[in-house]
Amino acid sequence: MLAALFADLMDLGGLLLVIPLMLPVVGLLLALLVRGRTLGRFALALLLLGLAAAAVIAAAVATGDQALHYQLGGWAPPLGVALKADGLSAVMLLTTAVVLLGVGIYAQRGFQVPAGLPETRRSLAFWTLLCGIWGGINTVFLGQDLFTLFVALELLTFSAVPLVALDGRSETLAAALRYLLFALLGSVLYLLGAVLFYGTYGTLDIALLADLIAGADTLPPAVPVAAALMTVGLLAKTTLFPLHLWLPPAHAGAPPAASAVLSALVVKGSFFLILRIWFDLMPALLTLTAAQVLGALGAAAILFGNLVALRQTRLKLLIAYSTLAQIGYLFLIFPLAAGSSSVALTAGALQVVAHACAKAAMFMAAGLIAASLGHDQIRELRGSGRTLPLTVLAFGLGGLSLIGLPPSGGYLVKTLISAAAVDTGQWWLYLVVQAGGLLTAAYLFFVLSQAVPGPRQPTPPHERPRLAQQLIVLALALCALLLGLLPLSAVDLLEIGRPAAADSGAVSALLADAWTLDKLWASLWPVLIVAALVLAVRYRQQRKPPRPEGTSATLSPGRALDQLDHLLRQWPVAGLLLLVLVAALVQTMLVGG
Amino acid sequence: MTSALVVDAALVLLVLGLALWITAARAAYGAAVGFVAYGLLLTLVWVRLAAVDVAMTEAALGSGLTGLLLLGAAARLAPYEADEHRRRPGTVLRVLVGVLCAAIAAGLAAVVLLLPDPAPSQALAVAAHLPATGLGNPVTGVLMAYRAVDTLLESVVLVPALIGVWSLSTEMGWGGRPGFLTPCRSGSALPLLARVLPPFGILVGIHLVWAGADDPGGKFQGAAVLAAMWILVMVAGLREPPPVSDRLMRFLLVVGPLCFIGIGAAGIRLAGAFLAYPEAYAKPLILAIEAGLTISVTAVLGLLLAGPPVPEPQYQRQSRRRS
């Protein structure tokens, strides 16, 4: 009977895409009518349905070996609006469903309505906004029309911003306002670009635009300007270094579940649109110097984000800066795509999936640790490994994926990027990837070296986490860690619906090569050395009384880094950087073309 | 021809002059008043560009409701304004900002001039398929048929926006009434206006929605007029805003988008695609959706202006202080 149901579902074809588009939206609307006390379970049921729908779509794309298309209202573009799910979209839908289900299970406790109340502000806001984010990001993955995608981005942003201020303190409100204003600036730039595309070609459909752009001998100057405006607008929403002014304060005060969603999913929505613009709309961009600009920003993000993460004293902010670094990896693929676009795209998609699972797990693990200790100061984590063994384990396993150790998804990403960097002679990218991994290892082991030793806490924990919460965090971390063990055919899914690459099989060859013993060892030994160094430093610190605050030299490199970070997050500086980036991208696109 | 040119030139000068004035205005309240006037001038500009639908939207939403929101915010921020003035940046920085803004404006103008002329357009295709929808207004055709999904998602985006405003309340205030609009002082002319104006305003609002099928107008413009009437009644103190937990109000908030999705889903069976309409019933179905959306958009706009809920004692105190 199940087989018959499955066959029926497959027959629906493109109509299937309406489910991930509308299910979250219906959920968002009905959530206002559902009784407050059952809201959490209602959302959970919806998320389960959503996971099933995403799985069916992935299966339909995989078995049909082609992208699913749908024309809304039966109107063909350019008049109407089309939806499409290629392998990439299907994988993203599935990742989103998995991560959101994890967050949904985790948040059952924190956002339930206490006995005696019909409804609370936190509960209603969290569950409705979670549906809003889900609907926005699903539309981003499916939409093929630049304006529909704009509306999707707005749904995503307007749902994400209030989550930052859910705790209702004045500093969280300020952080949310910061996020809102900067994200809206990004929206305006994106919309301006979309207007220029429409003004030039009279259509907003990505496939039609791609044909028109590819068919033209010379591009009208408005086109590179539009691409640059849209890219920079989306960078502001993705928080690529140096446009990260809202990221640290937002995470500092957001509830852990909200941080998990923001870091794992929301910033990936705008990144996905950058992928669509550079790989689908104007693949010619990838051969220009502009791709190097994005790559350089990505490399800077990896080094800067990881170094600043090392300086953090709060666990949550450490994870937030680690997100800044991990977003950097996503942009390394642009300068590499000129060599092999399928290798670059696979690396980018794997990084999105691996980071989404790992980072959601780590933020939620940090949330459980903070709830249990009553704080999240890294230097005072002693004993949490005994009190919350599963949670600390999940944090560590998620971290292994961020470092890029086998068999994690992060390992595949590093393997692909390193190989592509060597192939295209861009050694500096190879070095950045290796350095980034080691810096990540340094702060991960530092956190673990604080959390693991020590006796069980003598004082009872502030709040004892539920087993379900600990298990779901561990499950998400395992998803990231075991991603590398997926069969190669799963990676092939990413290629479905894309124009056949000249170097098909390059990805499979590289990935098959990743499992030789010397490769595994080569990825392991530097990390082991870093681990040993961290332990040695920690041992010395324990024997030495800690230096009092504020007595260290004022011009230490660490201080300088903090001050640079502070400077970059000032409004005038961030605004100027936005303008400079637009100018730089326009310049490199016009000259290169 | 020349007289039209004179009018246009005067309009452009007025718009630019007013924009400069708003930028230079010292008090936020004055700037907000200027902004409302600026919106009305822009409405005229849109009329001159023969975009009557855009003009109506600008007048109702861009100038009217946004202006009201800004006026309210300016009034609330007034106590902190002197402090803010003392901390304003130095002349050099302000000149620099001005130069940069001018450069951006010049860059935008250059890009717009780069676009091909005549602009490529879907207007012919829009007109060619309009009979299938039973509509006469091509703008409504785009919004309700060809690009229905955008309209649907836009009406949905309003809900998280409202929840964002509501979430600014304290946990204690949840379930209370929105406290942003406090009734005016007794003895003012507002209560009289709020008794006389709404019957006409409601008629105009409904007419805009009804006429939108064939002539300029539509649900967003109509809903803005209706919301303005509701706000007038609330500010005049004739009716209190409903508590955020009010079941009926919650239903009104979502009935429009839900009805849109329901009819869209029925289209899968009846017309072969999600958000498609069977040709024979296209117009009545579109009107039904528009009616639903008008209700929901009116409710959302009114509640957005009414602000986050406050605890009942605080609400009572605020009301008493004014009356």
pLDDT tens per residue across span A348-390: 999 999 999 999 999 999 999 999 888 889 988 888 888 889 9
- The confidence band for A554, taking pLDDT boundaries of 50, 70 and 90, is low
Residues of A in contact with B148 (CB under 8 A): 72-73
pLDDT at A188 over 70: yes
Alpha-carbon gap: B95 to the closest alpha carbon of chain A (Å)? 14
Q: What angle do CA A115, A121, A127 make, to 5 degrees?
A: 90
Distance from CA of A351 to the nearest CA of B (A): 29
Whether residue B122 and residue A79 make contact (CB cut-off 8 A), yes or no, is yes
Does the distance separating the beta carbons of A73 and B149 come in below 8 Å? Answer: yes
| A205 and A232 inside one domain | yes
* Under 8 Å between Cβ of A14 and A6: no
A224 and A321 together in one domain: no
For residue A504, what pLDDT band results from cuts at 50, 70 and 90? low
Looking at the structure, tell me whether residues A98 and A206 fall in a common domain: no
* DSSP conformational letter for A287: G
Query: Can you tell me the mean pLDDT for A278-286?
Result: 89
For residue B129, is it within any domain? Answer: no
**Chain B residues in contact with A154 (beta carbon < 8 A):** 157
Across all residues in chain A, what is the average pLDDT?
Answer: 90
Confidence of residue A321 (pLDDT cuts 50, 70, 90): very high
Domain identity same for B112 and B213: no
| A458 pLDDT tier (thresholds 50, 70, 90) | low
Looking at chain A, the whole-number percentage of residues with pLDDT higher than 70 is 96
Which tops the pLDDT comparison, A542 or A478? A478
What gap in Å lies between CA A131 and CA A233, rounded to an integer?
24
DSSP-derived secondary structure letter, A83: E
Domain co-membership, A330 together with A392 = yes
- Return the higher-pLDDT residue of A24 and A557: A24
Contact between residue A325 and residue A248 where contact means Cβ atoms under 8 Å apart: no
Task: Record the tokens describing residue A157, joined without a space.
Answer: 């942003």
| Containing structural domain, residue A571 | 168-276+555-593
Q: Is the Cβ pair A155, B261 closer than 8 Å?
A: no
For the cut 80, the answer to whether the pLDDT of residue B182 exceeds it is no
Q: Which residues pair with A205 in a beta bridge?
A: A145
Please tell me whether residues B104 and B166 are part of one structural domain: no
- Domain stops at, among A77, A112, A144: A144
A28 to B160: CB separation less than 8 angstroms, yes or no: yes
Would B125 be classed as within a structural domain?
no
CB A165 within 8 A of CB A175: yes
Lowest mean pLDDT among A94-103, A110-119, A297-306: A110-119
Q: Is position B123 within any domain?
A: no
B114 touches chain A (CB under 8 A): yes
User: Are the beta carbons of B275 and A72 closer than 8 angstroms?
Assistant: yes
Residue identified by tokens 């602000």 is B307
Is any Cβ of chain B less than 8 angstroms from the Cβ of A37?
Answer: no
Could you tell me if A387 and A534 lie in one domain? Answer: yes
CA dihedral B308, B313, B319, B323 (to 10 degrees): -170
Residue with the bigger pLDDT between B303 and A342: it is B303
Shared-domain flag, residues B97 and B5: no
Are B207 and B289 part of one and the same domain?
yes
Q: How far is CA B218 from CA A68, B53, B134, in A?
A: 34, 8, 15
Which tens digit of pLDDT belongs to each residue from A37-55? 899 999 999 999 999 999 9
pLDDT of residue B174: 83
For residue B160, the chain A residues in CB contact (below 8 A) are: 28, 128-129, 132, 155, 158-159, 162
- Cα angle A297-A303-A304, degrees, rounded to a multiple of 5: 80
Q: Are residues A101 and A28 in the same domain?
A: yes
Report yes or no: A88 and A349 within 8 Å, Cβ to Cβ. Answer: yes
pLDDT greater than 70 at residue B137: yes
| Pairing mode of beta strands A82-85, A68-71 | antiparallel
A46 and A108 fall within a common domain: yes
Same domain? B50 vs B185: no
How large is the greatest C-alpha to C-alpha distance in chain A, in angstroms? 74
B319 or A115: which carries more pLDDT confidence? A115
In sequence order, which residues have a C-beta less than 8 Å from that of residue A79 and are 6 or more positions away?
B122, B125, B126, B129, B146
CA atoms of A531 and A526, how far apart (whole Å) = 9
* Residues of chain B above pLDDT 70, percent: 97
ipTM score of complex: 0.94
Same domain (yes/no): B181, B279 = yes
Same domain membership, residue B113 and residue B71? no
Under 8 Å CB-to-CB from A222, ≥6 apart: which residues? A196, A199, A200, B111, B114, B115
Calculate how close chain B gets to A159, using CA atoms only, in Å.
5
> A453: cis peptide before it, omega within 30°?
no
pLDDT-derived band at B32, boundaries 50, 70, 90: very high
* Rounded percentage of chain A residues whose pLDDT exceeds 90: 66
Report the residue from B120, B167, B254 with minimal CB separation from A32.
B254
What are the backbone dihedrals phi and psi of residue B199, each rounded to the nearest 5 degrees, phi first? -55, -40
Q: Where are the alpha helices (DSSP H) in A425-516?
A: 427-451, 467-482, 488-492, 506-513
| Mean pLDDT calculated for residue range A326-345 | 90
State the nearest Cα–Cα gap between B154 and chain A, in angstroms. 7
A32:B258 CB<8 A: no
Same domain (yes/no): B108, B41: no
pLDDT of residue A437: 94
Cβ–Cβ gap A173/B122 under 8 Å: no
Which residues touch A27 (CB under 8 Å, ≥6 apart)? A42, A43, A46, A131, A134, A135
Give the number of domains in chain A.
3
Residue A419 domain flag: yes
Distance CA A56, CA A579 (A): 43
- Which B residues, 166 through 225, put their C-beta within 8 Å of a C-beta on chain A? 166-171, 173-175
| pLDDT in the model for residue A118 | 86
* Interface residue of B54, B274, B277, B285 to substitute, partner A, most A CBs within 10 Å: B274
pLDDT of A502 > 70? The answer is: no
Q: Are residues B73 and B97 in the same domain?
A: no
Count of domains forming chain B: 3
**Residue B318 clears pLDDT 90, i.e. is over it:** no
Task: Identify the band that residue A551 occupies on the pLDDT scale cut at 50, 70 and 90.
Answer: very low
Contact A140, A156 (CB under 8 A): yes
Closest CA–CA distance from residue A245 to any residue of chain B (Å): 19
* CA angle, residues B168, B171, B177, in degrees to nearest 5: 70
Size of interface A-B (CB pairs under 8 A): 171
Residue B317 in this model has a pLDDT that exceeds 80? no
Residue-number span of the structural domain to which B187 is assigned: 134-323
pLDDT, tens digit, 9 for 90 and up, residues B204-223: 999 999 988 888 888 888 99
Distance CA A255, CA A165 (A): 9
A209 and A296 in a single domain? The answer is no
Q: Are residues A288 and A272 in the same domain?
A: no
Q: Are residues B200 and B249 in the same domain?
A: yes
Distance of CA A144 to the CA centre of its chain: 21
Alpha helices by DSSP H, listed for chain B, are 2-24, 28-48, 52-57, 66-86, 91-114, 123-129, 138-141, 148-166, 190-211, 219-235, 247-270, 282-306, 312-322
* Residues B161 and B289 occupy one common structural domain: yes
**A576 and A441 fall within a common domain:** no
Does residue A498 lie in a domain region?
no
Question: How far apart are the C-alpha atoms of A204 and A78, rounded to whole Å?
Answer: 7
- Put simply, the answer to whether A73 touches B274 (Cβ < 8 Å) is yes
Please check whether residue B276 touches A, CB under 8 A: yes
Whether residues A75 and B274 touch (CB distance < 8 A) is answered with no
